[in-house]
Structure 1
């Protein structure tokens, strides 16, 4: 996007993806350009806004509020297109969307996020469930309902925060099941020793069997085969180990990294196509302390940066570099317990962590905060980047 040639009275912005990042970019940009003639189009395959931070609860059979994207956009002037983006033509600045006419853009915000990487291990794509959508999580919940009455066995593959949340939630909600958490490393290995110990005690208390130290080699119809040759019975497998991004950006010819994420500059513009901004899981973002990993905690601040960068360019102002640092690793352990590991800017653990009821309240506040920010953003500028990393992000990325 060329700031000197931008025409705010006719500038077309297309945002691909209405998850945590795409939704916030569109809402913040709409408020900041209100009355300026900027036309914003938000594209998403589904009409439902999905709270990915709570998807593990759907997998455990719990009902969550149904938020319609059109309701969240009401009164903003944003056009919503329900459909999947299937191709991008950067030369023509055009996006092809299933079931609709092509969309032309002056600025494109690429916020397509990520999905569970079920292609990394044989059989995972055919025999494992994921948390990628309410439908897939709901199918897993329906299966576990059937299994609970007969004492069936469930496996959760992946010992990161999502896997821990899913295993504990399922074990608490479905006491008739045998739940196993399979991880190549110790569950919660990114946390400090105290928080890891607390997680392990919660897993033990809820009866979750932990299989750690051996990676999954294959997912079978009724079992998970480990690399050491052992098999773990699995009447239903939930896959939370690793993520992948859509191939759309690489197929379009944008500069991408080895994982298919768009490589961006300090202001989150594509290094090969500066009229494209990439945010959230779809972007390869580097800070001075290292590379940002996918999480709502880091994704929403990238959305704020994208909206503000577009506004500055439209107004002929120089862009500002993105600054961000991690604050915490919040993980629920069922409905009545949680642990919050506080971190340094680079996401390494500090000594401090929070547990019990205070941690439950903290986690619920964190999980519910995006919707609060969205609703406020329709009327005012609301910052979602509370901690910019301090001294750790004041120097440029290497």
Structure 2
């Protein structure tokens, strides 16, 4: 399987980038060729999209620059179809790309299709461009003391709401959440989070769902109408339909069903990583996050490197370590966790937590840099009693 074996990685997000770079280092003496395919040449730091939304300018990272010094070939293009039988990918320019091994790393995006009006009237953080358009609108709204509604009280919604409130003190920010924000945290960490929301003047509407997004308002499921000069939608995720359309086994949400080695249960030449993979452990299915995504990338790169050498592969193991949430630029709360993502006793708050969160957000770029020269292990828990074996 060496010499002319071609590995194609679809998607150059956090997991696709790490898989390609690490695999290039691990197979540098085998002759394996690696092609990384992505629609844009810009590397998107999804962990920082809320900063762009608040009007901050980030350094633009280019994928070819991040790959410099590796043997990975970058191909800018969009995959429109996959033919697992012939192991061929159709690109948007009507050309074809053959592969021996495929790494499916297309990730996920915010789903605006489940609530009427969200797709038309709400903004998302799905790309730097959409985040920048939202930032431009927020500048107009803040100038007249208007109101922004952030729909979704998960970590993205919390970080976006606090970032907006800190950056625009005259802006009225309302966070709408079906559940209590921080419900996955311990009591003390959650209480700290709520005090931060109060300190920043954020109005919290918890325990209620959005029924409809209107041009200048949101309608709640309880019938109330809330003014909204700009609506940011962060609730719900969706993945590309490409895998399902190709006949690859997926779950009801379109995630590729994987075995204990993160290979497709229907097409073992396809490996799935990150948000696009349905990965189950004894404690349940992994949720989409950089924390779990990078280890799937690390594992998959190592697994492919072993397979091309004819070696066996051990099952994937993973355990969560923390729940880091920024609360603006100068505050954060870090809830450390057990391997199954339930809260542990330790937490970190304030400026030290903000420093910690910044370290976490910047760690993928450091990982890419050093992985060109060494087998750098991602800084997350992969041990513990709860991770000794994958789900049956």
Shift of 1:87: 0.6
Partner of 2:248: 254
CA distance in 2, matches of 1:100, 1:320: 38
**Secondary structure at the residue paired with 1:179?**
strand
Partner of 1:3: none
Shift of 1:396: 3.5
Matches within 5 A, 1:344-359: 344-359=338-353
Q: Is 1:162 matched with 2:156?
A: yes
Partner of 2:39: 45
Contact 2:320 / 2:380 at 8 angstroms: preserved in 1? no
- Aligned partner (choices 96, 107, 112) of residue 101 of structure 2: 107
Contact 2:317 / 2:389 at 8 angstroms: preserved in 1? no
**Secondary structure at the residue paired with 2:19?**
helix
Shift of 1:152: 1.1
**Secondary structure at the residue paired with 2:176?**
strand
Contact 1:304 / 1:385 at 8 angstroms: preserved in 2? no
Partner of 1:57: 51
Contact 1:222 / 1:233 at 8 angstroms: preserved in 2? yes
Q: Is 1:380 matched with 2:362?
A: no
CA distance in 2, matches of 1:100, 1:299: 31
Partner of 1:182: 176
Shift of 1:37: 1.2
**More displaced 10-residue stretch of structure 1: 106-115 or 88-97:** 88-97
Shift of 1:35: 3.2
Q: Is 1:120 matched with 2:114?
A: yes
Deviations 1:288-318 (A, max 9, x none): 1111000000000000111111111111111
CA distance in 2, matches of 1:97, 1:365: 36
Question: Structure 1 length as normaliser, TM-score?
Answer: 0.97
CA distance in 1, matches of 2:218, 2:344: 35
Partner of 1:237: 231
Q: Which runs of 5+ in 1 are unaligned?
A: 1-5
Contact 2:184 / 2:342 at 8 angstroms: preserved in 1? yes
- Aligned partner (choices 187, 207, 210) of residue 204 of structure 2: 210
Matches within 5 A, 1:334-349: 334-349=328-343
Shift of 1:75: 2.1
- Aligned partner (choices 119, 124, 128) of residue 130 of structure 1: 124
The alignment yields a C-alpha RMSD, in angstroms, of 0.9
Shift of 1:101: 2.2
Matches within 5 A, 1:327-338: 327-338=321-332
**Secondary structure at the residue paired with 1:250?**
helix
Shift of 1:257: 0.5
Matches within 5 A, 1:65-104: 65-99=59-93, 101-104=95-98
CA distance in 2, matches of 1:131, 1:389: 33
CA distance in 1, matches of 2:380, 2:156: 23
Moved >2 Å (runs of 4+):
none
Partner of 1:320: 314
Q: Which runs of 5+ in 2 are unaligned?
A: none
Q: Is 1:271 matched with 2:265?
A: yes
Deviations 1:341-365 (A, max 9, x none): 0111111111221101110111011
Matches within 5 A, 1:185-196: 185-196=179-190
**Secondary structure at the residue paired with 1:14?**
strand
Contact 2:36 / 2:73 at 8 angstroms: preserved in 1? yes
CA distance in 2, matches of 1:193, 1:115: 30
Contact 2:291 / 2:380 at 8 angstroms: preserved in 1? no
Partner of 1:282: 276
Shift of 1:384: 1.2
Shift of 1:36: 1.8
CA distance in 2, matches of 1:196, 1:120: 28
Q: Is 1:224 matched with 2:249?
A: no
Deviations 1:174-232 (A, max 9, x none): 11211000001111111111111111110111111001111111111111111000011
Contact 1:324 / 1:385 at 8 angstroms: preserved in 2? no
Deviations 1:241-281 (A, max 9, x none): 11011100000000000110000001100000000000000
